[in-house]
Amino acid sequence: MTFVITTPLYYVNDKPHLGSVYTTIICDTIARYKRLLDEDVIFITGVDEHGLKIQRTANEKGIEPKSHCDEISEIFNNNWKNWNISFDKFIRTSSKNHELVVNEFYERVKASEDIYMGVQKGWYCVGCEEFKDNPENSSTYKCPIHQKNLEWKNEENLFFRLSKYQKDIEKIINKKSFIEPIERRNEIINFVSRGLKDFSISRTNVSWGIPVPDYDNHTFYVWFDALLGYVSAISSNESDPSLNKSINGGWPANIHFIGKDILRFHAVYWPAMLISAGMKLPEKVYGHGFLTREGQKMGKSLGNVLDPELLLSKYGNDAVRWYLIKDISLGNDGDFQNRRFVDIINNDLANTIGNLLNRTSSMSRKWFDNKVPNIEKRSNNNQIESLTKIAIEKYIDKFNTYKLDLAANEVLSLATKTNLYLNDNQPWLLIKEKDNLNVVKEIIYNVLESTRIIGLLLLPLVPDLSSKIDDQLGSIYKKDVPWKEQLRWGLLISNTSLPKPTPIINKLDYE
């Protein structure tokens, strides 16, 4: 089964910020999880390169838009590699194959008689690349997202007959599974109930875009162009890319992950465009929340933008991933707080998980000849085995419903309970009596086995940390055995050699 997951295609007006890193990490986690379940994943990311915003950014730098886009796209691509993002496709909307797909798509929409020439008048936010709904006093109105004045536009544009799809869209958004989370769905239901208006899909004052066939001076509106990146990405590596190849190669997407500010484009405009072109619709659009920093909106003018590259080099991939996944409930807004970040990493990863592994492995090495103990007889009533089974079930259920913070918490809670089991049983006291040897062997085995499973469950969430746990347990994950099967209790082999333990994550200090 193919599972297609997409990040938004990021504007190349600037290098990646924490918001783009956040969405990309979330998608990466889900893509990794689906691969572990042996699904055939196509994980799409990329960049949105056309339009007025990018044209102006390049002009301000005094360079051609193409060279500007080459430079920033490269930064995005490299950045995702530095973050160990397991994307399958990286689409650039300025590429020839993408243009081809946009043109083919446009022909289909035209054949459905959904394109006409009209006059577009209104207030436009260049940052959002969007006309705003009749602001009351437009001369003082600033875009609430970009805090910049809107610009008045009055020009002949081609229009798409969105209004024709009112009923279809109502039906789609009323399906509970289409838009998540629920609050976002309600926003869209509200918006659509006010009546859909046709929207313009070409521009005459933007040269940096895909030319509209047969209309001199018209380029496609950047959103009409960018949304198709999700489709063109699928056949982008083919020698002869086309719309049909993309359709046959895996379309429709199973899930589009986006920020809440671009929900209308994905949950209203995009489905209507797809119906018009006779194409299948994505299964789900998930609108996540916004990240703030220490309670404040991040922005260049506020001077509080958190540089993700700096975070990565200072704290490493695992720490940032764990914080963003575990501390922010997907769908809600989240706040990045430095002290909280340090506390969470130290408590969860260093103390709870790291320490559990470290101390148990040390005891095992000391008492059982640097090996996993050899257990002869297992007791029937194994409390830690039951806890592990319950944790796995809950974790899978949370992952399948995209409650990643809760899935992460399940793993953490298993580690906490395993630590408690160790403390309650006090093998360091029991070992003093020779008669207790078998009991001690069993306790240590149970804790190491629970830690093995914790490591496996961490694989999609913090892959580097997970493989460090594996190293410390004697490299026992098997690539050729399905991951789910490896979650079965009791697979840790007695007498496996344990290497000398080293901390799997360094403790962090407050700034």
Binding stretches for ligand MSP (CB under 6 A): 8-11, 19-20, 22-23, 48, 226-227, 229, 258-259, 261-262, 290-291, 298
Find the residue with minimal CB distance to ligand MSP: 259
In the complex with ligand MSP, which residue's Cβ is closer, 302 or 429? Answer: 302
Residue 181: closest CA among 397, 398, 333, 330: 330
CB of 20 to ligand MSP, least distance (A): 5
In the complex with ligand MSP, which residue's Cβ is closer, 291 or 349? Answer: 291
Please tell me the distance from the alpha carbon of residue 388 to that of residue 411, in angstroms, as a whole number: 9
494 Cβ neighbours under 8 A, 6+ residues apart: 371, 372, 373, 374, 375, 445
In the complex with ligand MSP, which residue's Cβ is closer, 8 or 373? Answer: 8
Strands (E), 126-243: 130-131, 151-160, 179-180, 199-200, 202-203, 219-220
In the complex with ligand MSP, which residue's Cβ is closer, 36 or 298? Answer: 298
CB of 230 to ligand MSP, least distance (A): 7
CB of 339 to ligand MSP, least distance (A): 20
Please tell me the distance from the alpha carbon of residue 92 to that of residue 133, in angstroms, as a whole number: 30
In the complex with ligand MSP, which residue's Cβ is closer, 20 or 419? Answer: 20
Please tell me the distance from the alpha carbon of residue 367 to that of residue 447, in angstroms, as a whole number: 15
CB of 117 to ligand MSP, least distance (A): 25
Please tell me the distance from the alpha carbon of residue 311 to that of residue 317, in angstroms, as a whole number: 8
CB of 272 to ligand MSP, least distance (A): 15
The secondary element (H helix, E strand) that includes residue 255 is strand 255-259
Length of the chain: 511
Task: Give the DSSP letter of residue 500.
Answer: P
Pairing of strands 219-220, 255-259: unpaired
Per the CB < 8 A criterion, the answer to whether 184 and 260 are in contact is yes
Please tell me the distance from the alpha carbon of residue 38 to that of residue 380, in angstroms, as a whole number: 32
Residue 124: closest CA among 208, 200, 47, 219: 200
CB of 445 to ligand MSP, least distance (A): 44
User: To which residue do tokens 């995209």 refer?
Assistant: 402
CB of 82 to ligand MSP, least distance (A): 18
In the complex with ligand MSP, which residue's Cβ is closer, 50 or 403? Answer: 50
376-405 residues labelled b (16+ CB within 10 A) or e (exposed) = eeeeeebebbebbeebbebbbebbeebbbb
CB of 10 to ligand MSP, least distance (A): 4
Per the CB < 8 A criterion, the answer to whether 475 and 445 are in contact is no
In the complex with ligand MSP, which residue's Cβ is closer, 178 or 445? Answer: 178
In the complex with ligand MSP, which residue's Cβ is closer, 91 or 411? Answer: 91
In the complex with ligand MSP, which residue's Cβ is closer, 226 or 275? Answer: 226
Helix/strand/coil for 93: coil
CB of 16 to ligand MSP, least distance (A): 9
In the complex with ligand MSP, which residue's Cβ is closer, 211 or 259? Answer: 259
CB of 9 to ligand MSP, least distance (A): 4
Per the CB < 8 A criterion, the answer to whether 235 and 242 are in contact is yes
